A and B are shown apart, each in its own frame.
Chain A
Amino acid sequence: MTHVGYLVAGYGLTAVVLAGYVLRLRSRGRALARSLGTQGPGTDEATTAPPPADAPIR
């Protein structure tokens, strides 16, 4: 394999892995939001907002 081949392999692998992870995060987020009945992007503050740092343990 030439050096360009190694570059294509390295950069290609990085792009595929990162894009795959981003898509997985997005699809799981959408599916969970559907199951919880939220309306859309960031509309349900109670659902999408992270718990405060002093939130009690469940």
Chain B
Amino acid sequence: MTTSSRATSVLGWLTLAGLALTVWLALVVSPPDVNQKDAVRLLYVHVPTAWLAMYVSFGVTTLASILYLWRRTRSRFWDLAAGASAEVGVLFIGLTLAIGSIWGRATWGVWWTWDARLTSTAVLFVLYLGYLAVRRVPSDPEVRSRRAAIVAIAAFVDVPVVHKSVEWWRTLHQPASLFDERRLFDPQITGTMALTLVVAVVAFTLLYAWLLIHRFRLAHLQEKADDRQLADALAERRAEGGDAAGVVETLSGPVPS
């Protein structure tokens, strides 16, 4: 695989081991919940994907977009990093919504409800889909990257809204069990369940890193392929121009120097 290197291979194997350990802890070792029974095991996928999408992926996208917009640090590197991280984030936030919907059906009895947390998360998903669409709008590469960076920063405004939605509005969704400044040192989840959740977050973070590196390198390869295609097309046009000049010369005789 051309987007691979020795470091990403090691990272890939570590990620696979971490995910295998997560599945074993989540489905075999971790106990069922008193109220939710076995459905609580969906927590170990739902929480890590939400954490990675909202705070890590979109955080990296926003930071890279700011660095791209700042003249001193502006480079293709930051634009490609922002795009790669956003795509992985959209994948994770899509999974968060899907797993949350399944979990909601198992515990609340409905696939979807217009709850503040669910709705603000769905808005976040749509905002970053829009960001990815802006990146594909045919335009001058620099103008397109600048527009995309502004959209990414604007979209990130929804992240604190999602985070605080369970406090600002009366919601069906439970408040944060772990990722909350007041509960960080007094978590609502302990023992094997807490251990499983931490292992799951670490494993999914490794997965994010692996996906980000590969998506970034893929975007870099795509730019190189586009550049080569453009250079080939220009060379072809120049050759056509050269042939036409040759024909004119043959018909009218040698051009006097």
Contacts and interface: CB of A to CB of B under 8 A. Distances in A.
A35 B249 CA distance: 37
Contacts of A14: 45, 49, 95, 99
A8 B78 CA distance: 39
Contacts of B78: 53
A13 B42 contact: no
B221 interface: yes
Interface string B65-86: 0000000011111101000000
A32 to B, nearest CB: 4
Contacts of B94: 17
Interface string B88-108: 000100110011001101100
Interface in A8-39: 9-11, 13-14, 17-18, 21-22, 25-26, 28-30, 32-33, 35-36, 38
Interface of B: 1-6, 23, 27, 37-39, 41-42, 45-46, 49, 73-78, 80, 91, 94-95, 98-99, 102-103, 105-106, 141-142, 207, 211, 214-218, 220-225, 227-228
Given A3-B38, A53-B78, A57-B75, A48 B2 contact: yes
A52 B221 contact: no
Given A6-B39, A54-B75, A57-B142, A21 B80 contact: no
Contacts of B211: 21-22, 25
Given A10-B99, A41-B4, 12 more contacts: A1-B106, A3-B38, A3-B106, A6-B39, A7-B42, A11-B27, A14-B45, A14-B99, A18-B207, A33-B221, A48-B221, A57-B74
Contacts of B207: 18
B39 A11 contact: no
A36 B221 contact: yes
Contacts of A53: 73, 75, 77-78
Contact of B1 (A13, A21, A26): A26
Interface residues of A, number: 39
A13 B207 CA distance: 16
B75 A48 contact: no
A3 B37 contact: yes
B214 A25 contact: yes
Contacts of A32: 2, 218, 221-222, 224-225
A28 B142 CA distance: 24
B127 to A, nearest CB: 20
A47 B2 contact: yes
A41 B98 contact: no
